[in-house]
Amino acid sequence: MSNLPEARALDAADPLRSWRGLFALPPGVVYLDGNSLGALPLGTASRLGEVMRREWGEGLIRSWNTADWISLPRRVGAMIAPLVGAAPHEVIACDSTSVNLFKLIAAALAMRPGRKVVLSEPGNFPTDLYMIAGLEAQGLAERRLAPRAELVAALDEDVALLLLTHVHYKTGAMHDMARLTRAAHDAGALVLWDLSHSAGAVPVDLTGCEADLAVGCGYKYLNGGPGAPAFAFVAERHHEALQQPLTGWMGHAAPFAFTDDYAPASGIDRLLTGTPPILALAALEEGVKLIAGIGMERLTTKSRALSEFLRAAIAETAPGLPCISPEDPTARGSQLSFRHPEAYAICQALIARGVIGDFRDPDILRLGLAPAYTRFEDCWNAAQALGEVLESGEWERPEYRQRAAVT
């Protein structure tokens, strides 16, 4: 039986316990949605104040040089790199995950002339599938979807790119990155990994897996703030050949030469398009700094311990509720998902009690465990609240069934 004293003992022995104090978490709230929007680091407000007052307010345009604004996309990318097993010069922070997907899918298609198929799986995150569809509508790609078990068999000589999300956003199930990357390469295809639910949450070794391309999200486990810039990875061996379609001036070899003809920058900079959003990148840097400071090894250990504790606690408080995340903690992301036909209303009833998880259509209650700031006591409280919500039937109140614009 898990209990509150046990949870508190685990928190007291947690080597990450002091990091929680570096985040602005409202008292009385159990926050289990850091996989949708990471918590606010305390350093972010003062950093943004500084960037606004001193760098923008006083430095004005000079700050592109004096505050080195111009290299911020590369600096933040280099800080993200060790979290995903990449070299510093292989990652850049820019644009949104969706836009980076577009750039890298198109670039991969251009690197595999004669092949048009982009292979993915049904139920992948919508934006990933929509971005393939958009390129298909332009006549540049052909979308092919195969269920997990049939992906390898679907890799034939028409496939230019295998595009998968490493950790599934609904179930938390994790793909075997090394095995699938090898299979794609054996078929002559490239691989693009979406690391939105992986970066800062689970160990990723892009270099060890010989991955070609990757993208990931800045506002989830990296705590960059709502709509934070995303990141993109290109393995060094592809830097010279990579042609991305959004050939803006910031990806030019010499943006301030103002020439009429486009020539891509030599390294990862060629993924840039327009002027980088400095305020947003400064906020992202503060979030990444904390996660990089802890390091993936400690984050992984804590994440697995948290999710095992929460799984055991919910198995006691809500024994009838099926967990659809993989049972093996090394085979899932930093989350647990549960299935219930009234998952939306249950999620709302939990939020009313101060336990913030989220709902994923049609019937999934998702509890994210951001290891940097989530406590075992939070897991215990969430399990108690969930048990009480189910037992009391309080989720049946009509107001909990009213769907908001963002679910």
Ligand X SMILES: *Cc1c(COP(=O)(O)O)cnc(C)c1O
Binding region for ligand X (CB under 6 A): 96-98, 125, 127-128, 165, 169, 194, 196-197, 217, 230
249 is in an annotated binding site: yes
Residue 91 C-alpha from the chain's centroid? 14
Q: Select which of 220, 304, 332, 375 is catalytic.
A: 220
Smallest gap from residue 35 Cβ to ligand X (A): 8
Other Cβ atoms within 10 Å of 405 Cβ, number: 4
Q: Select which of 115, 116, 366, 375 is catalytic.
A: 366
98 is in an annotated binding site: yes
Told to judge if 102 belongs to the known catalytic residues of this protein, a careful annotator would answer: no
Sign of dihedral through CA atoms 366, 368, 369, 373?
A: negative
Give kind and range of the element (H or E) at residue 159.
strand 159-165
> Would you say 10 or 129 has its CB closer to ligand X?
129
Told to judge if 220 belongs to the known catalytic residues of this protein, a careful annotator would answer: yes
Smallest gap from residue 113 Cβ to ligand X (A): 27
Q: Are 120 and 132 in contact (CB under 8 A)?
A: yes
Place of tokens 């030019």: 252
Amino acid at 195: L
Smallest gap from residue 390 Cβ to ligand X (A): 27
> Radius of gyration of the chain from Cα atoms?
22
Q: Select which of 33, 194, 269, 358 is catalytic.
A: 194
> Would you say 112 or 170 has its CB closer to ligand X?
170
Alpha helices for 265-325 (secondary structure H): 278-294, 296-317
194 is in an annotated binding site: yes
> Would you say 169 or 233 has its CB closer to ligand X?
169
Smallest gap from residue 310 Cβ to ligand X (A): 20
Smallest gap from residue 197 Cβ to ligand X (A): 5
d(C-alpha 165, C-alpha 125), whole Å: 7
330 is in an annotated binding site: no
> Would you say 264 or 371 has its CB closer to ligand X?
371
Q: Are 94 and 125 in contact (CB under 8 A)?
A: no
d(C-alpha 195, C-alpha 178), whole Å: 14
d(C-alpha 355, C-alpha 266), whole Å: 48
> Do the strands 358-360 and 364-368 form a parallel or antiparallel pair, or are they unpaired?
antiparallel
Told to judge if 125 belongs to the known catalytic residues of this protein, a careful annotator would answer: yes
219 is in an annotated binding site: yes
d(C-alpha 161, C-alpha 16), whole Å: 39
97 is in an annotated binding site: yes
Smallest gap from residue 224 Cβ to ligand X (A): 10
d(C-alpha 223, C-alpha 374), whole Å: 13
> Would you say 199 or 390 has its CB closer to ligand X?
199
> Would you say 226 or 295 has its CB closer to ligand X?
226
Helix, coil or strand: residue 7: helix
| Strands annotated E in 21-111 | 23-24, 30-31, 40-41, 91-94
Q: Select which of 219, 233, 373, 376 is catalytic.
A: 219
165 is in an annotated binding site: yes
Told to judge if 169 belongs to the known catalytic residues of this protein, a careful annotator would answer: no
The residues assigned a catalytic role are 125, 194, 219-220, 366
Instruction: Please report, in range form, the residues annotated as the binding site for pyridoxal 5'-phosphate.
Output: 97-98, 125-128, 165, 194, 197, 219, 249, 275
Instruction: Please report, in range form, the residues annotated as the binding site.
Output: 97-98, 125-128, 165, 194, 197, 219, 249, 275
